[in-house]
A = this chain, B = another copy of it.
Amino acid sequence: MSAHSSELAVAAPADAPGVDAGTDEGADEELRAELRAVSRDLLAAAAGKDDAQVDWALLAEAGWLGLEVPDGLDGAGVTVAETAVVCEELGRAAARAPYLGTAVLGAGALLALDPGDDRDELLRALATGAPRFAVALPTGDAPLGAAGVPGAVPFRLARSGGAVRLTGRAEFVPDAAEAETLLLLALDEGDEPVVVRAAPGQPGVEVTATPVLDVSRSLGTVAAVDAPVEAGSVWRFRGDGRAGGRLLLARGALAVACDSLGAAEAMLAATVEYASVRHQFGRPIGSFQAVKHGCADMLVSVSVGRGLVTEATRALAAASAVHVADGADGVDDAAMSAVEVAVSRAKSYMCAAAVDVAGKAMQLHGGIGYTWESGVHRYLKRAALSRALFGSPTAHRARLARHLDADGAGGAR
């Protein structure tokens, strides 16, 4: 049961306390704290608005889009751990911004590719906020099945009449409708996962918006039918394409878990605030055990969720760094499994907990909580969407259970 026992602490050095004397973990924590504080201020403005729309230019100016873009390409050159902070703050504000499509998945996909001028140029542009990106990959339960990633790759390249053509369909793609540049996860003729660059207007490619109850999110369907593809638009992952695809899916799941963490913390804070000022029966309602203990339960699950999200972030950051640095040799299957285990735990726990916390917030706000104006519903809808996006808790737990069964088979210790 190595992936689930104390071995993990060795595999992921950051888990062990007091061991960072020689690392820059402390500095990173400070950077993240500052990033968090700035984000919170900036997004607080958006939180007040009914549509919670965040000014895209502002995000670009703040440097949040290029966090992971290398220094040399005008980015900040930091890791997914910093991106995670922004995701959490976007969730806290229930803000509407195409951050997932561009900064999380777009940058993540490009960074996982073999470097090259086209890619580098696109990364540089990404950091400026133009174009906006969408990455068409499977966002449901499919890739969590026993079959793994390739079976769930939504697009396929085939040569016909001398041209390479793309066919496939991906639903519930984050930020698809507003994207100017599409990156499509596809299988090439050798069944190797690759990324295909496309534009929404391009022949054979159709993008349609999918309206959802959570108006703070934008989702859409990307469909391609025999769309001709230029050779220069087909990009290979560094090293093993399968590993690249798996890391990308892990990023999506983790980003959504971070979002749910922020949302849950916001709901807890709002409930505590309300329970402290709202009086009934001559007392603040927070002085009643029913309310107080309800808030305590919210804090417990937020605390547990935060721990899981933190561990998953560390694991993914470490693996991503290895992937970018070493390519194929870097992230072996065991390391990838460790990342996926951590991400599945964080995603399944936190995204389910956030729905519960938002629901409890609605309950403890009483009639006010059920009004549109309270905004609690925005968090409930957002948490419900996050729960399903990039794999339901059930699907993630099914994947975890397969690991447990396999590990159990491995030996008694």
Tell me the A residues contacting B by CB distance below 8 Å. Answer: 288-290, 293
Residues of B within 8 A of A289 (CB): 288-290, 293
Q: Give me the 6 closest cross-chain CB pairs, A-B, nearest first.
A: A289-B289, A289-B290, A288-B289, A290-B293, A289-B293, A290-B290
Closest to A289 in B: B289
Q: How far is the CA of A290 from the CA of B290 in the complex (A)?
A: 7
Closest to A293 in B: B290
The minimal Cβ–Cβ distance linking A289 to chain B, given in whole angstroms, is 4
Residues of B within 8 A of A293 (CB): 289-290
The minimal Cβ–Cβ distance linking A298 to chain B, given in whole angstroms, is 16
Q: How far is the CA of A293 from the CA of B290 in the complex (A)?
A: 8
The minimal Cβ–Cβ distance linking A290 to chain B, given in whole angstroms, is 5
Q: How far is the CA of A288 from the CA of B293 in the complex (A)?
A: 12
The minimal Cβ–Cβ distance linking A275 to chain B, given in whole angstroms, is 14
Residues of B within 8 A of A290 (CB): 289-290, 293
Residues of B within 8 A of A288 (CB): 289
Q: How far is the CA of A289 from the CA of B289 in the complex (A)?
A: 6
Q: How far is the CA of A332 from the CA of B318 in the complex (A)?
A: 65
Q: How far is the CA of A290 from the CA of B294 in the complex (A)?
A: 10
Q: How far is the CA of A290 from the CA of B289 in the complex (A)?
A: 6
Interface centre among A288, A289, A293 (most CB of B within 10 A): A289
The minimal Cβ–Cβ distance linking A294 to chain B, given in whole angstroms, is 10
The minimal Cβ–Cβ distance linking A360 to chain B, given in whole angstroms, is 14
Q: How far is the CA of A289 from the CA of B288 in the complex (A)?
A: 7
The minimal Cβ–Cβ distance linking A283 to chain B, given in whole angstroms, is 12
- What are 6 A-B pairs with beta-carbon distances under 8 A? A288-B289, A289-B289, A289-B290, A289-B293, A290-B290, A290-B293
The minimal Cβ–Cβ distance linking A299 to chain B, given in whole angstroms, is 16
Q: How far is the CA of A347 from the CA of B214 in the complex (A)?
A: 41
Q: How far is the CA of A288 from the CA of B289 in the complex (A)?
A: 7
Q: How far is the CA of A293 from the CA of B293 in the complex (A)?
A: 11
The minimal Cβ–Cβ distance linking A86 to chain B, given in whole angstroms, is 39
Q: How far is the CA of A106 from the CA of B288 in the complex (A)?
A: 53
The minimal Cβ–Cβ distance linking A379 to chain B, given in whole angstroms, is 25
Closest to A290 in B: B289
The minimal Cβ–Cβ distance linking A367 to chain B, given in whole angstroms, is 20
The minimal Cβ–Cβ distance linking A134 to chain B, given in whole angstroms, is 39
The minimal Cβ–Cβ distance linking A374 to chain B, given in whole angstroms, is 24
Q: How far is the CA of A289 from the CA of B290 in the complex (A)?
A: 6
The minimal Cβ–Cβ distance linking A108 to chain B, given in whole angstroms, is 41
Q: How far is the CA of A135 from the CA of B293 in the complex (A)?
A: 49
Q: How far is the CA of A289 from the CA of B293 in the complex (A)?
A: 10
